[in-house]
Chains A and B, each alone.
Chain A
Amino acid sequence: MKKCILIDDDASARLIIQQLIIKTENLEIVGEFENAIEAIKYLNENTVDVIFLDIHMPTFSGFDFIKTLKTPPNIILVTSDRNFALDAFEYNCVVDYLVKPIAYERFQKALNKLASVKIKPEVSKENTNSKTEDKLYVNIDRRLVKIHIPDIYLIEAKGDYINIKTEGKNYIVHSTLKKIENKLPEEIFIKVHRSFIINFNKIIDIEDNSVLIKQDIIPVSRSNRSELMRRLNLL
């Protein structure tokens, strides 16, 4: 029996999927969510085989949600909008794209597609050897200055320079965010905006489109928000 969850802000849509699933034999609904955030919390602690996912949801779209999943299960998109079909298949995890109202025959076809999908191989872990160092040397006034990486809480792009802020000192270095990003351990640092990289462990709080880190309020761009949300240990 495959375990599935439903994510749709519309109660009638969830009820219809339920009804369609009742008629099938090898699917079991283990959760229903009216928004993606609740589903992310659930998936932090549980695994499922299939997600029936609405694309068009307020604040956090279905596509934003997919981007938060490190190893996404198979996803069947359910939407009232035909216009997203091409975008949908850019995600390998998307098995099918159902347009509401869904007829039983079409639903069955989606399940057949699901059955024919091969089990996905585990995503190989990236080689992070180059990022395991906890020290970084930066060139300041022809001196190589050592910075203890875990002390960095914020890096801000400023034209041709970056401002590296640590617990005790700020360093203005002639470099780019892209260059330093490649030197930082990705489990600690996250780019939240084209001009900002933050230390994930130093976040104080997060509000809609910004994070508070030390005394700095840093904007979070829409495209980086889903990755940030994915990494939060949400209760």
Chain B
Amino acid sequence: MSDPNLNYIKELSGGDVEFEKKIVTILKEELPVEIHAYFKHFRNQDFIKTAEIVHKIKHKISILGLEKGCQIANLYEQKLREEKTEGNQRFEILLEQMTLFLKKVTL
């Protein structure tokens, strides 16, 4: 599986550093909040809310260039909507990867 990267953001920015900073700031601010919500809903076995938050995180996965990660999140979201938790570990590894990557990113 590929590593998180800023390729999409760079492509979109066309050198607009302000945009790059803004979007990375949003990702850095929102992702931890969403991860916290994910684990809370997961612990409470609230499948619908967990699926909703996975859906929201999915967009961030795609922004960070994780194509395979998007597929993992898609399948996991579907499973959650069927009230199954299959695929949670692979998804949670993604969350770790993204968190570590965003911690290192400086623009």
Contacts and interface: CB of A to CB of B under 8 A. Distances in A.
Interface of chain B: mostly helix, strand, loop or mixed: helix
A129 to B, nearest CB: 46
Contact size class for A?
Answer: 10 to 19
A200 B58 CA distance: 40
Interface in B35-72: 52, 55-56, 58-60, 62-63, 70
A12 B59 CA distance: 9
Given A12-B30, A12-B63, A101-B63, A80 B58 contact: yes
Nearest to B58: A80
Interface in A135-161: none
Contact of B60 (A9, A12, A15, A104): A12
A15 B22 contact: yes
Contacts of B63: 12, 16, 101
Contact of A101 (B8, B14, B19): B8
Interface string A11-22: 111011001100
Interface string A96-139: 00001101100000000000000000000000000000000000
Contacts of A81: 55
B74 to A, nearest CB: 8
B55 A15 contact: no
Contact of A19 (B16, B26, B30, B52): B16
Interface in B10-31: 11-14, 16, 19, 22-23, 26-27, 30
Interface in B50-107: 52, 55-56, 58-60, 62-63, 70
A13 B8 CA distance: 13
B13 A19 contact: yes
Contacts of A15: 19, 22-23, 26
Nearest to B19: A19
Nearest to A104: B12
A56 interface: yes
B87 to A, nearest CB: 17
Contacts of B59: 10, 12-13, 80, 100-101
A81 B60 CA distance: 13
Interface of A: 9-13, 15-16, 19-20, 23, 56, 58, 80-81, 100-101, 103-104
10 contacts: A10-B59, A12-B63, A15-B19, A15-B26, A16-B23, A23-B14, A56-B55, A80-B62, A81-B55, A101-B8
- What are the nearest 9 A-B pairs in CB distance? A101-B62, A12-B26, A80-B58, A11-B26, A80-B59, A100-B59, A19-B19, A101-B8, A15-B23
